[in-house]
Every structure is written in C-alpha cells, then in structure tokens.
Amino acid sequence: MKENVRELQNVILIAADEVIRICDKYNIPYFISDGTLLGAVRHNGFIPWDDDFDFAMKRSDYEHFCRVCPSEIDPEKFILQTDVLEEHYALSFAKLRLRRTRLEEKFSEGVDISQGIFVDVFPMDNLPDNLFIRKIFMGMSHVIKNLVWVKCGYGVYTHGNRLSYKLCKFAGHFVPLGVLKKMRYSLITRYNTQLTRDCFNSDYPEEIIQNSFFNERSIYKFEGREMYSFRHADLYLTAVYGDYMTIPPEEERCWHNQEFDLGIYGQGE
C-alpha cells in the first residue's frame, strides 16, 4: 500500500463533495457505488488502500448532472471531463478533476487529456432482457469501446503489443473519432426507453445490476459525511463482489493508480 494514500483520499474528497453539492442543489439522485460503497459499509469511509471514488447515476440523471456542472464549478479549481468536452478523452463516463494536481493512470499515460486527481461519475444504461440479443449488444459495445480507446491513444503501454490492439488501431484509421463516439452513445443508450431488468456500465461491462436498485436510496456514513447509495446495499455488493465483508489478504489489495501530485493540496493550502 502506498504510504501517502490517506493524503490522496483527502484530496479526492474535495471533488466528491463538489459532486454531491451539485446533485443536492439540483435534486439529482446519485449513488456512491463499487468500492466506495463497499468502503462505506465495511469501513465507514475509504477502503484503507483504495485510491478512487465512484458515483453511479441513471443515464437521464447523469446527463442532467453533465449539463449543470460546468456552470456550477469554479473553473479555477475543477474541470469536468467527458468524451464530448475533451476530444481525446475516450471513456463513456465523466470525471470531475481538480486542477493544479496530477494523477496519471497507466492506461491513459501520454494521452492529451486533463490528468488531475478525480472522482468518477458513471452513467448506467439499460440492457436488453433477451439473453441472445444481450450477447450481441455487449459484443458490439466491446468492439466500439476498444476502437475509441485505441484511437484516442489509450493503452499504448499496457496493451500496445497485443494483436487485438494493433487490429483496432488499423481499423480506427477508417472511421473518424467523433463518428465512433456517436456510434457508441447511440448503441449503449438504445434500450433506455424500455423497461428492462438490468443495467450496466459500458466501460466496465462485467458490472451488471438490477434497475430496481435505483428506486430507493439510503444514507451511509463516509469519512464523517453522509452520502446516498442503494438502500439494498447488501444485494448490490453481493452481486458485484460476492463475500464483500471478508477483507482480502494484503497481496490482493488493489492500488489502481500509478503516480500522483497533490499540487497545492500537498502544501497545506
């Protein structure tokens, strides 16, 4: 575990607090999710070795957030990062980043994007109920996602030697990046007008949860704060992690990020 992970967590909370402030002001339902919710339930805050923070929203609420956020944040302090606002940002979810800091993930190393310390805001999109159609849908989503990632320059140092990477790079020469992004959006939002059982995060499609989880919220303690998430946290966490209350051995504790610079926040300002 990185010795200064706690300092990073404290800076991440600045961005998390800002997301929550905006959501509360505009009555946008948000849910702390993934390892953040696991930390809230198991540790009343961050998982001690964790270095990120996740929000989940239904697509319509996510788009509401992305509309109002730019006029709400202090542009000297924060930047909202989406695949629309930054050309070479490849992911289909938003990050709220802190300016005058740096956190460069290995997967996006060298990409021409903002690289400040961040929190993730994930839109959740409906999946078709028919399992055969779902399999085709997920395959198409995977292909387009990878074409976008490679065309933006992601994964050069982590996947660049793979044949699949080279094939995506070759194929990407024939389709403009903007067209690929529009194709991805059109695909992953295709079933949002239908009532379906499940939804997913298209960048991390292994996370499939029931839409009904978004119907009810409860308050959870997190680092002395109160934050909303799924009322049925046990069902959600079991679906995502299995036996989530068992703390993994030290060698299995995941540190996501590589290097970071706290900037002014590391100087006591």
113 SS3 class: coil
pLDDT in tens, 203-240: 999 989 999 999 999 999 999 999 999 999 999 999 99
In terms of DSSP H, where are the helices of the chain? 5-25, 34-43, 59-72, 131-152, 156-159, 163-172, 177-188, 233-241
The pTM assigned to this predicted structure is 0.93
pLDDT in tens, 111-120: 999 999 999 9
102-104 and 31-32 strand pairing: unpaired
How far apart CA 261 and CA 151 sit, in angstroms, is 27
Is there a contact between 65 and 50 (Cβ–Cβ < 8 Å)? no
pLDDT value of residue 107:
86
Confidence of residue 249 (pLDDT cuts 50, 70, 90): confident
How far apart CA 96 and CA 143 sit, in angstroms, is 26
Q: Which residues contact 103 (CB under 8 A, 6 or more apart)?
A: 8, 115, 116, 117, 118, 257, 259, 260, 261
Confidence of residue 109 (pLDDT cuts 50, 70, 90): confident
